[in-house]
A and B are shown apart, each in its own frame.
Chain A
């Protein structure tokens, strides 16, 4: 099983700041890596697929990068509604797996 490790577990920043979230895979997942956002009580929302492609309707402040085993999700200027949970997911090796999540909190 491909283990995804997200870091940090919690990231404390202020609105307007830049956020960089990391996801590291235990083996190569090529570029088959997605990022999801989850607000409390809601289903996850797809942000990024194929490591760097924004999903439909996702603001340009969200961007993804990386390949192989190291990936990042960057939020260029944090808005108040961005302070929620983020998960990465790999789709290269079955069983597909999620990271444990990064919580973005207001500093």
Chain B
């Protein structure tokens, strides 16, 4: 069974940094692209970032470009989202999700999310 479990969320001050992890199991991690999508409290879904199967290509939404870095460790079946220069409007539940294929397009399995709160 496919599982994705996010961790690393919490309370951080504006301007601070945080690293989210997404641990996966139940599928061949190195064969699939992975996405990060976030949802601010009471709001809709927003695309954050995506990475292809071998980590050679990464993509970022305009709101996080230059501040967030996505990477993966295929030997550990884990994805990392390094977040920097955090702002209050980065407050959201962050979901990692597996793509249907090796190239990021559509997410078919999702984790339950981890809450990031940016506040002083």
B1 in the interface, Cβ–Cβ < 8 Å?
A: no
Q: Is the CB of A98 within 8 A of B111?
A: no
Question: CB within 8 Å of B: which of A9-36?
Answer: 32, 34, 36
* Cα distance, A51 to B79, chains bound together (Å): 28
Chain B contact-residue range equals 20 to 34
Which residue among A45, A89, A94, A95 has the maximum number of chain B CB atoms within 10 Å of its CB?
A95
One of B10-18, B21-29, B58-66, B82-90 contacting the partner? B58-66
Contact A95 B60 (CB under 8 A): yes
Please provide the chain B residues from 61 to 107 with a CB less than 8 Å away from any CB of chain A in the complex: 61-62, 95, 97, 100, 104-107
Q: Is the CB of A95 within 8 A of B59?
A: yes
A100: CB under 8 A from chain B?
yes
Q: Tell me the minimal C-beta distance from A62 to chain B in angstroms.
A: 15
Q: Which of B60, B106, B112 contacts A46 (CB 8 A)?
A: B106
What string of 1s and 0s marks CB contacts (under 8 Å) between A31-55 and chain B?
0101010100011111001100001
Residue tally, chain A, CB below 8 Å to B = 25
Q: Is A91 on the interface with B (CB-CB < 8 A)? A: yes
The DSSP consensus for interface residues of chain B is strand
**A101 touching B44, Cβ below 8 Å:** yes
Given the contacts A46-B106, A49-B106, A96 and B46 also touching, CB distance less than 8 Å:
no
Closest Cβ of chain A to B104, distance in Å, is: 8
Question: Is A43 touching B113 in the complex (CB atoms < 8 A)?
Answer: yes
Point out which of B46, B50, B100, B111 has the most chain A C-beta atoms below 10 A from its C-beta.
B100
- Please indicate the chain A residues that have their CB under 8 angstroms from the CB of B97 in the complex: 43-44
Given contacts A43-B113, A97-B47, A101-B44, contact A32 B105 (CB under 8 A): yes
Please give 10 more A-B residue pairs, beta carbons under 8 A apart, in addition to A43-B113, A96-B59.
Answer: A1-B62, A42-B112, A44-B37, A44-B45, A46-B106, A46-B108, A49-B108, A95-B62, A96-B47, A98-B47
